[in-house]
C-alpha cells in the first residue's frame, strides 16, 4: 500500500508537523506541498528541521496541485476548507486541521466565528464513544482543536461515569506554536520568554463551544465550560487543569476506577500511576496524552490534569491517527509514542 | 533615619531579593547576612547579581549575629522562625518570610504542616481591610505566601462587594524560583525548560488554608478554594486565574465598578484598562500587581487574573512594604514599581 | 536640578528601557514621548511594565514635540537621527542610541551601511581612555552599539597593556531584545525558544567596524576582528567570548594584573575573582559589566569573557551614564548596579 | 534479525535518549535496563517520556544483568566502563558513551582526567576518513564526546582540503542536558533560564584533547584548539562556531567547494544552501548535523558553524549509528533525520 498524501498549508506549524510525521509513515508517500505567500520557495528555507524534504518546492494551493492524491491534509486559515474540499471530490480523503467542520450547532459556529456554518464532518477524536466507527471508511475528517482534544480526553471518563456536575472550569497553558506563525508583537520571543499571560478570557475563546459539544454529548446533558487559556514560555505543549464539583458519593477510589476503566483500552491516552503528574515535556513530539486525577475532599471537587503536544496529538498526530482509521491502516502506524525529553 | 537591617537566609532566593531591594532602600543600612551551610562564603559567590555586596561574608545564623539591628528579616525554612525571633527581643522588628506565623487556625496549621502551631503575627498584606493599622508600629510581621498574595489581591474586591459565591477555583502558574534553591531533579533546567507541570494537586498545597483564611475573612463566611499550582518554564512570576460563580444580578459593569473602587487607592495593585490582560513579564522585578476581570455570561462566572513577581511583591517586596509601614516610613520607599521588560 | 528629558522612539525596547531608568532617576523629569506608527496610543498598551507612565500618550516624532527639553534621547532606526538633531539646536543635549554618529571613518560607515556618513559625535563609552573628558559638557553623544560595548570593555585592558596580538576572534550570544520589536519570523517565540543560531557571520555584522575602531585606538595599531553574533533563547543579555594570541612573555599573572589595574577604577565594570565566570543572569537589568580572563597555555591565547545587559549598559544605561557625565551629574545617578536574579 | 540490547545507566539523559531511539529501532529488542541509585524503580518514574517502557524496572548494574545481550550500551560516569566491558566478553558489542576509550594518547588522558589510561577503542565517528572500516565488525566502540562530534564534523572538510592554519578557535553553546542530571546549583532552572555563561575556559575542558586528536589526524600536523564552552538556556543542542586563519589563496569559492565535496556523501551531515545558517532547533531530536561556512575577507578567516542535538547525534544517535555499522545493519536504521520543531 502506498497512500499518496498532499499537505495544503505546508509552511505553517501544523503543516510542518504533518510532514514530520508523514515523512516517517511507512504507508505514505508525500505528494504536493502547497502554500500561499510562500509558493515557489524551498521547503528547507521555511521548515529547516525537515531535512529529507529540504529541496521540495511549495506550490500554490490550487485544485490542480492537490488533485491526484489519496489524502489531502488541510492546514489552512478558518473558512478556507469548504471550497477546497468541494473541488477535490468525494473519493479523496480530506482531513481538515481547521475549525470549519467541527461544530454541529450552526448557531454556536456563527456566534463564535461570525460566518455561515459550512457543515459538520466526522470528528477526529477516536477516543470518544462511537468515533472510531464513524471514522472508518470516511472520506472527510474534522480534526479537533488542540484544547478540546486535551480537555475532552481529560474529562470524558468522569462524565461517562456520571461522577461530576455539568459545570466545568478549565485553565490551560499552551506553547506558542498554538498561535501559529503569525507575526504579532505579543508572539515575539522577547515578549513570551519568561512570561505567562492569559488571552480570550471570559468565555470568548473559539474552542469553548467545541468543549461544550463534546462534554455535553458524553454527559448526555448540557455542560457549561469556563475556559481560560494562557500562553506559556515554551514552543509546544498544552497542560489543562480541569475541575468540576463531584457528585454526591464520589470519592478518590471511584474516580480512579472510572479513569482506569475508560483509559485502559486507549493506545495514546495514559492514566499515570498515583502520585505522578503529567508534564508537557514528557509528551514533546509524541502522540501520547498523559492524564492524572485527584479528588479534593475539602472543596468536594474532581481535578483532572491532562498534557499533550498541541502540534502532535493536538493537531497533526490526531490527524494522522484519524487518517489511519479512515483508510484501514493500523491506528498507531507512523505515530511516535515516546516524547523527546529532556 | 538609618534603619539597620539583617537578613537571615541571605544565600537563598528570598534572601537575595531582600538584599537587592534593601541595597537600594534610602533608609536602610545592610547589617549582618547569615546563612547555614554557606556561612563563611563571599556573598558574591552565591548571589553574583548583588555586585555592591559581593565582598560581604555570610555568618552563621546565630542570635549574636542578628542582634543589634533594627529589623531582622527571616528567610528560613519553615519551623525555624519562632526560636530565632524569641531571642531577638520585642523591640526588634522581625519580618518573617516563612509560613510559621501566617495562619490563625492552629488546626489548619497542624493539618498542613504536621507540627505544633507557633502562633500568629500581624499579617503583611497591607491591602487587606484593617491590615495597615495592624502593621503600624508592630514589631512582628508574617509575610504572606506568594500564591495567597496573588489570589487574595485578585479576589478580595469581588468578595468585599458580595459579587461571588464562596466556592473558588484557582489555577496558578509560578516561576521556578518559588521552589527555592533546593537541589531537586524536577527543578533542573533540563527538566523545567519547555515544560508545564502541576504539583500539590487536590487541595494539599500548603498555601491553600492561607487563601481560605484571607478570603473567608473578606467574605465574612467560609470560602472553599480548589487550588492547583503549576510550575512554568520561567524563573519568576505568578499568574493566577481565579474564578467563582457570580451571584444573581451580577454583570460585567457591576464587577468592573467594584474592582475599580477597591483597587483605586492601592499604590501597588493596578486594575488594567478593559481589554488588556496581565502578564508576569510586565511585573518582573517590580512590586506591582496587575489585575483584570471578566464576566463569563454563558458559564455565569467571574474570572479574575492576577500577576505579580513571586520574589518581589510575593515575598521580599511585600516584606519591605510591611517594614516601611511598621516603621512609619512612606509605604513605597525603596520599592520598584516598573518591571524589567522585555 | 530638574532635567527635562524626551524620548523619541518610546515604543521600542531601547525606548522602554530608557523610560524605566529615567522614571527612577532623581534628577530627571520625563517630558515628551514620541513614536511613529504608535503615536496616539497609551504607553501602557505598548510598555505594560512601565506602570507609573501607563497613561502617558505617545506623540508623533516632530521637532515641536521634542523641543523645550534639556535632553532628547533618540531611539530611532538608523539614518533618522541627523535631521532630528539638527532641528533641536546646539544647546540641547542629544543622546543618540542609533549608529549614525558612532564611526569616525566615512569609508567604514559607507561599506557597512550603504548611505552617506552623517558625522561623528563624542562616543559614549566613558571607560575608554579620554572618553569622560570628551563627554563632559558635550551636547551630542553617540551611544555605542551593545556588542562593541561588551567587546571593548572586555578587551581594552589587554590591548592597553600590549598583551595580545591585533587579531581578535569574538563569538557573542545576545538576547532577542537586541533585534528590537521587528516582526520577523525568526524572532517569534516559537522559533527562538530552545534554539541557538548565528547571524551576520563572516565579517558582515555592522558592529564589526565599531569594534575595530575602538580596539585599534587602544592598541594604537590596526586590529582585525572576526565577529560572530548568535541569537540565544533569552530576552536580554550579551555574553561575549573574546580571544587573541598572547604576545611573547605573557602569562596568567601579567594578564590578571593588567585587568585588575585597568578595571579597578571603573564603577560599572567588575573583574570577577579568579575561578568565577560572568553570566548574563547576574547583570539582568543592571548597568554592571562582569569580566573574567584566562590564559590558555596550550593555545597560547588570552580568553576574555564579558557579560552585560544589552538594553541597560548596552544601550539605555550607557546612554544615561553619558548623559550624567555630559550634564555634570554624578556618573552613577539613577543607574542600578544590582541585577534582577534569578 | 533481533538484536538484544542492554543499557547501563538507563536513568540518565544519555540512557533515556538511547532508549527512545532503541524503542523505535526495527532490529532491536530492549533487554536489561540498569542503574545505580535508581535500581528497583519503574522507568516511568525516571523517564516519563518513555511511555512504552514505563513499567520496566531498573536493575543494578551487574555483569549478570548485562550478560546475554548482543549489544551493551554504557552510559556510565567516567572510569567505570573498562571493568564492566572486560567481564562482558569479546563477542558482545560494547558501545561506550563515556570518555574512557576515546583518546589515543595516554599522556593527554592523564593530564585531563588524572587517572591511568584505560586504552583506546575504535572511534565512533563514522564520518571521519577510515572510521567506517574500523567500526565494521568491531565489538568495541568509543562514542565521541558531543562537542568533539560537532567541531570535528564542522572542521574536517577544511583541514582535509588544507584550507586553514592549524590554530583553531571554537566557542560553543550547549543545552543543559549536556551536563547530565547532576544536582548542582548552577544547573537549576532558576539559574539557567534567561542566562548564558561560560565554563571550563582557558583550555581546561576535557573535550579539548579529543578535538586536537581528531583535527590533527585529518590535518596530518599538530592542531591547537582554543575551546570555550558556554551553557545556554535550552535543554538540548550544540551550536559551535569554529574559526581558523585561511591559508594563502583560499577564498569563499574554494571553501564552499571543499565542503560540498566532503559532506555530499554523508547521510547525517548537511551543508546548508548559501545564506542559510544552522540552528539547534532544526536538529532537535534528530541525528542530523547542519553546517554552514563563510570566508571573512577582512579578518582572512574561515568561519564554520555546526549544529546538532547533543543527546542524539552528539551521544545516543551517534552510538546507534556506530552500532548499526558494527553489526552490518544499514547505517541509518532507527535514526530520525527530521528535527522536532518548532
| CATH for D64 | 3.40.50.720
Nearest Cα residue to A338 out of D6, B198, D175, D285: D285
Instruction: Report the domain count for chain B.
Output: 2
The phi, psi pair for B46, rounded to 5°, reads -105, -35
Residue D182 CA: distances (Å) to CA of B223, B234, B235: 43, 20, 20
Q: Mean of the per-residue pLDDT values for chain A?
A: 97
Instruction: Tell whether the model's pLDDT for residue D74 goes beyond 90.
Output: yes
Task: For residue A116, tell me if it sits in a domain.
Answer: yes
Q: Looking at chain D, which subunits does it touch, using at least 3 CB pairs closer than 8 Å as the criterion?
A: A, B, C
Q: What is the pLDDT of residue B78?
A: 86
Residues C59 and C176 in one domain: no
Q: How confident is the model over C320-341, as pLDDT tens digits?
A: 999 999 999 999 999 999 999 9
Residues C190, D342 contacting (CB under 8 angstroms): yes
Q: Find which of B154, B185, B194, B242 to mutate to test the A interface (most A CBs within 10 Å of its CB).
A: B194
Give the closest-approach CA distance of D184 to chain B in angstroms.
7
Residues C43 and C166 in one domain: no
Instruction: Report helix, strand or coil for D46.
Output: helix
Cα D277 from chain centre: 21
Catalytic residues of D: 146
Task: For residue A332, tell me if it sits in a domain.
Answer: no
Separation between Cα atoms, residue B2 and residue B327, nearest integer Å: 11
Task: For residue C342, tell me if it sits in a domain.
Answer: no
Interface residues on B facing C, Cβ-Cβ cutoff 8 A: 13, 16, 20, 23-24, 42, 44-45, 47-52, 54, 176-177, 193-194, 235-236, 270, 272-273, 276, 279, 281-286, 288, 290, 336-342
Residues of A within 8 A of B208 (CB-CB) are 298
Find, in chain D, the residue whose alpha carbon is nearest to that of C209.
D298
Interchain CB distance below 8 Å, D276 and A236: no
Q: What is the pLDDT of residue D1?
A: 62
The phi, psi pair for C188, rounded to 5°, reads -60, 145
Query: Which residue in D176, D181, D194 is closest to B185 by CB distance?
Result: D181
Residues of B within 8 A of C270 (CB-CB) are 51, 54
Cβ partners under 8 Å of residue C194, min gap 6: A235, B193, B194, C233, D175, D234, D235, D236, D237, D280, D281, D284
Instruction: Tell whether the model's pLDDT for residue C1 goes beyond 90.
Output: no
Q: Which domain holds residue D279?
A: 147-308
Separation between Cα atoms, residue B159 and residue B295, nearest integer Å: 15
Residues of C within 8 A of B45 (CB-CB) are 273, 276
Q: How confident is the model over C68-110, as pLDDT tens digits?
A: 999 999 999 888 999 999 999 999 999 999 999 999 999 999 9
Interchain CB distance below 8 Å, D181 and B190: yes
Q: What is the pLDDT of residue D327?
A: 98
Q: What is the pLDDT of residue C78?
A: 86
Query: What angle in degrees, to the nearest 10, is found between the helix axes of C252-263 and C146-160?
Result: 120
CATH number (domain holding residue D199): 3.30.360.10
Instruction: Tell whether the model's pLDDT for residue A49 goes beyond 70.
Output: yes
Q: How confident is the model over C207-235, as pLDDT tens digits?
A: 999 999 999 999 999 999 999 999 999 99
Give the closest-approach CA distance of A233 to chain C in angstroms.
8
Instruction: Tell whether the model's pLDDT for residue D67 goes beyond 90.
Output: yes
Q: Looking at chain A, which subunits does it touch, using at least 3 CB pairs closer than 8 Å as the criterion?
A: B, C, D
Instruction: Tell whether the model's pLDDT for residue D141 goes beyond 90.
Output: yes
Residue B117 CA: distances (Å) to CA of B73, B99, B315, C284: 20, 11, 21, 40
Residues C153 and C263 in one domain: yes
Give the closest-approach CA distance of A68 to chain D in angstroms.
26
Q: What is the pLDDT of residue B1?
A: 61
Task: For residue D278, tell me if it sits in a domain.
Answer: yes
In A133-237, DSSP assigns E strands to 140-142, 164-174, 197-198, 224-231
Find, in chain A, the residue whose alpha carbon is nearest to that of C234.
A193
Residues A170, A211 contacting (CB under 8 angstroms): yes
Q: What is the pLDDT of residue A1?
A: 62
Instruction: State the average pLDDT over residues A242-257.
Output: 97
Residues A139 and A158 in one domain: no
Residues D170 and D297 in one domain: yes
Task: For residue B336, tell me if it sits in a domain.
Answer: no
Residues D187 and D130 in one domain: no
* Per-residue pLDDT band at A192 (split at 50, 70, 90): very high
Residues of C within 8 A of D165 (CB-CB) are none
SS3 track for chain B: CCEEEEEECCCCHHHHHHHHHHHCCCCEEEEEEEECCCCCCEHHHHCCCCHHHCCCECEECCHHHHCCCCEEEECCCCCCHHHHHHHHCCCCEEEECCCCCCCCCHHHHHHHHCCCCCCCCCECCCCCCCHHHHHCCCCEEECCCHHHHHHHHHHHHHHHCCCECCEEEEEEEECHHHHCCCCCHHHEHHHHCCCCEECCCCCCCCCHHHHHHHHHHHHCCCCEEEEEEEECCCCCCEEEEEEEEECCCCCHHHHHHHHHHHHCCCCCEEECCCCCCCCHHHHCCCCCEEEEEEEECCCCEEEEEEEECCCHHHHHHHHHHHHHHHHCCCCCCCCCCCCCCC
Instruction: Report helix, strand or coil for D315.
Output: helix
Task: For residue C339, tell me if it sits in a domain.
Answer: no
Interchain CB distance below 8 Å, B224 and A299: yes
Interchain CB distance below 8 Å, A340 and D44: no
Beta bridge pairs of residue D6: D72
Interchain CB distance below 8 Å, C226 and D299: yes
Instruction: State the average pLDDT over residues D215-227.
Output: 98
Residues A165 and A138 in one domain: no
In chain C, DSSP assigns E strands to 3-8, 28-35, 59-60, 71-74, 93-96, 140-142, 164-174, 197-198, 224-231, 238-246, 269-271, 289-296, 301-308
Residues D25, D13 contacting (CB under 8 angstroms): no
Residues A157, A258 contacting (CB under 8 angstroms): yes
Find, in chain D, the residue whose alpha carbon is nearest to that of B234.
D193
Give the closest-approach CA distance of D135 to chain C in angstroms.
31
* Per-residue pLDDT band at C293 (split at 50, 70, 90): very high
Residues of D within 8 A of C236 (CB-CB) are 194
Beta bridge pairs of residue B6: B72
Q: Find which of D12, D15, D43, D48 to mutate to test the A interface (most A CBs within 10 Å of its CB).
A: D48
Instruction: State the average pLDDT over residues C151-178.
Output: 98
Residues A188 and A134 in one domain: no
Find, in chain B, the residue whose alpha carbon is nearest to that of A228.
B241
Residues of A within 8 A of C17 (CB-CB) are none
Query: Which residue in B183, B185, B234 is closest to D193 by CB distance?
Result: B234
Query: Which residue in C42, C44, C284 is closest to B340 by CB distance?
Result: C284
Strand order in the sheet with D269-271: D197-198, D224-231, D164-174, D238-246, D301-308, D289-296, D269-271
Tens-level pLDDT at each residue, chain B (342 residues): 699 999 999 999 999 999 999 999 999 999 999 998 999 999 999 999 999 999 999 999 999 999 999 999 999 988 899 999 999 999 999 999 999 999 999 999 999 999 999 999 999 999 999 999 999 999 999 999 999 999 999 999 999 999 999 999 999 999 999 999 999 999 999 999 999 999 999 999 999 999 999 999 999 999 999 999 999 999 999 999 999 999 999 999 999 999 999 999 999 999 999 999 999 999 999 999 999 999 999 999 999 999 999 999 999 999 999 999 999 999 999 999 999 999
* Per-residue pLDDT band at D78 (split at 50, 70, 90): confident
Residues of A within 8 A of C13 (CB-CB) are 190
Q: Mean of the per-residue pLDDT values for chain D?
A: 97
Task: For residue A342, tell me if it sits in a domain.
Answer: no
Strand order in the sheet with A28-35: A59-60, A28-35, A3-8, A71-74, A93-96, A140-142
The phi, psi pair for C290, rounded to 5°, reads -110, 135
Task: For residue A271, tell me if it sits in a domain.
Answer: yes
Residues D75 and D202 in one domain: no
Instruction: Say if strands B59-60 and B28-35 run parallel, antiparallel, or are unpaired.
Output: parallel
Residues A127 and A178 in one domain: no
Residues of A within 8 A of D13 (CB-CB) are 342
Query: Which residue in C51, C281, C288 is closest to B338 by CB distance?
Result: C51
Residues C133 and C220 in one domain: no
Strand order in the sheet with B93-96: B59-60, B28-35, B3-8, B71-74, B93-96, B140-142
Q: Looking at chain B, which subunits does it touch, using at least 3 CB pairs closer than 8 Å as the criterion?
A: A, C, D
Interchain CB distance below 8 Å, C51 and B339: yes
How crowded is residue D60: how many other Cβ atoms within 10 Å of its Cβ?
13
Residues B264 and B245 in one domain: yes
Residues C231, C192 contacting (CB under 8 angstroms): yes
Interchain CB distance below 8 Å, D337 and A44: no
Residue D114 CA: distances (Å) to CA of C341, D78, D118, D213: 36, 11, 12, 18
Catalytic residues of A: 146
Residues A163, A195 contacting (CB under 8 angstroms): no
Separation between Cα atoms, residue D190 and residue D181, nearest integer Å: 15
Interchain CB distance below 8 Å, A203 and B281: no
CA angle C184–D341–A328, rounded 5-degree value: 130
Instruction: Tell whether the model's pLDDT for residue D229 goes beyond 90.
Output: yes
Instruction: State the average pLDDT over residues D292-315.
Output: 98
* Per-residue pLDDT band at A78 (split at 50, 70, 90): confident
Residues of B within 8 A of A188 (CB-CB) are 342
Amino acid at each position: 500500500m502506498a497512500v499518496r498524501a498532499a499537505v495544503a498549508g505546508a509552511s505553517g506549524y501544523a503543516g510542518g508537523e504533518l510532514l514530520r510525521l508523514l515523512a516517517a509513515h511507512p504507508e505514505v508517500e508525500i505528494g504536493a506541498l502547497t502554500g500561499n505567500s510562500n509558493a515557489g520557495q524551498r521547503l528547507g528555507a521555511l521548515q529547516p528541521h525537515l531535512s529529507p524534504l529540504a529541496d521540495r518546492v511549495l506550490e500554490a494551493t490550487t485544485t490542480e496541485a492537490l488533485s491526484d492524491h489519496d489524502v489531502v491534509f488541510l492546514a489552512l486559515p478558518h473558512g478556507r476548507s469548504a471550497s477546497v474540499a468541494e473541488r477535490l471530490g468525494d473519493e479523496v480523503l480530506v482531513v481538515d486541521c481547521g475549525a470549519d467542520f467541527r461544530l454541529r450547532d450552526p448557531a454556536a459556529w456563527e456566534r463564535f466565528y461570525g460566518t455561515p456554518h459550512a457543515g459538520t464532518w466526522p470528528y477526529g477524536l477516536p477516543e470518544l464513544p462511537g468515533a472510531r466507527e464513524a471514522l472508518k471508511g470516511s472520506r472527510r475528517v474534522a480534526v479537533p482543536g488542540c484544547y478540546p482534544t486535551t480537555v475532552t480526553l481529560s474529562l470524558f471518563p468522569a462524565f461517562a461515569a456520571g461522577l461530576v456536575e455539568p459545570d466545568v472550569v478549565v485553565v490551560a497553558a499552551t506553547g506558542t506554536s498554538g498561535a501559529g506563525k503569525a507575526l504579532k508583537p505579543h508572539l515575539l520571543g522577547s515578549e513570551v520568554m519568561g512570561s505567562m499571560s492569559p488571552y480570550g478570557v471570559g468565555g470568548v475563546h473559539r474552542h469553548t463551544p467545541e468543549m461544550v459539544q463534546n462534554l455535553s454529548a458524553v454527559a448526555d446533558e448540557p455542560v457549561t465550560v469556563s475556559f481560560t487559556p494562557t500562553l506559556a514560555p515554551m514552543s509546544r505543549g498544552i497542560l489543562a487543569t480541569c475541575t468540576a464539583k463531584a457528585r454526591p458519593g464520589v470519592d478518590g477510589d471511584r474516580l480512579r476506577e472510572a479513569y482506569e476503566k475508560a483509559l485502559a483500552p486507549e493506545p495514546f491516552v495514559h492514566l499515570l500511576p498515583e502520585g505522578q503528574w503529567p508534564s508537557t515535556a514528557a509528551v514533546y513530539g509524541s502522540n501520547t496524552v498523559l492524564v492524572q486525577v485527584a479528588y479534593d475532599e475539602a472543596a468536594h471537587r474532581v481535578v483532572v490534569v491532562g498534557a499533550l503536544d498541541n502540534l502532535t496529538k493536538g493537531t497533526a498526530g490526531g490527524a494522522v491517527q484519524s487518517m489511519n482509521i479512515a483508510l484501514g491502516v493500523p491506528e498507531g502506524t507512523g505515530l511516535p509514542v515516546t516524547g523527546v525529553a529532556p
